[in-house]
Every structure is written in C-alpha cells, then in structure tokens.
Amino acid sequence: MTSSGVPSMGPSEVYQELRERGVEHLGQVARAYIESDGGMAIYLAKEPVPGLPIVPPWEIERPEEFTVPQTVPHAATFACMKCGTTTSASSRTALAACTNCGHEHFTPAQLDRRFDAPGED
C-alpha cells in the first residue's frame, strides 16, 4: 500500500492483469487505473498503436532487446522496456536513451495481435 492507502502494483502485476484481459501490448490500452480495492479498471484503445509487448510474460520469454547506443538493423518503432514510451528509428541509426525516463533498453514495439483473444476460437 502507498501512504495514501491505495494498493501499489509493480509492472509485472500490472502486466499480469492486462494479459488476463487479453492485452498483448501496451499500445492496446488507452487508460488503466488501480482502484482503491486493488482491482484495475482498463480502457482499451479504439485504434491500437505500437506498444511494449507483454505477451508472453518476460519471466517465460524475454523480448528481443536493443541497448543504447546499439545501431538498429532496420527501420522500426521501439518501446522502452522500463516505461513503454515508443520511438521510431531509421535503418542503421543508433538508439538514444528514452526521452521519458532515460532508460537505455528497448524492444521492437508490437502492433498486431499474436494470439486470439480469450474466448475466441
């Protein structure tokens, strides 16, 4: 719990809650709130954008990782592995630290769904 009495969650707990609702990457989420009872209210984006992949769980399979100042092999959108902020990089350019949090580890952002949503056949 935080000092305000609201339960706190780390990234892995938040990602677990999102996965349980069929979310594969953060670009699918418009807003998410931790409620006072510890639950989460999640509002999905009508038009997903590229985002940090959270499926499969990183404890099972960590996504491909690029570290500053590594040069990227092809143009793509990358997501900060700490805060999820996305950035576009041109082919054969070096990544710079995250503009939001300064973190230096990125993974290719995901846009498309890789799996069927829960309940889909």
Q: Looking at this protein, which amino acid is placed at residue 91? A: S
Position 3 pLDDT exceeds 60: no
According to the 3-state scheme, what is the secondary structure of 29-95?
EEEEEECCCCCEEEEECCCCCCECECCCCCCCCCCCCEECCCECCCCEEEEECCCCCEEEECCCCEC
Q: What is the distance between the alpha carbons of residues 92 and 109, in angstroms, rounded to a whole number?
A: 17
pLDDT at position 76 is 94
pLDDT tens, 12-56?
Answer: 889 999 999 999 999 999 999 988 888 899 999 999 999 999 999
pLDDT tens, 84-103?
Answer: 999 999 999 999 999 999 99
Q: What is the distance between the alpha carbons of residues 91 and 33, in angstroms, rounded to a whole number?
A: 36
pLDDT at position 7 is 60
Cα–Cα distance list, 77 to 13, 35, 40, 66, 106 (Å): 25, 32, 28, 12, 10
The residue-averaged pLDDT of 56-80 equals 94
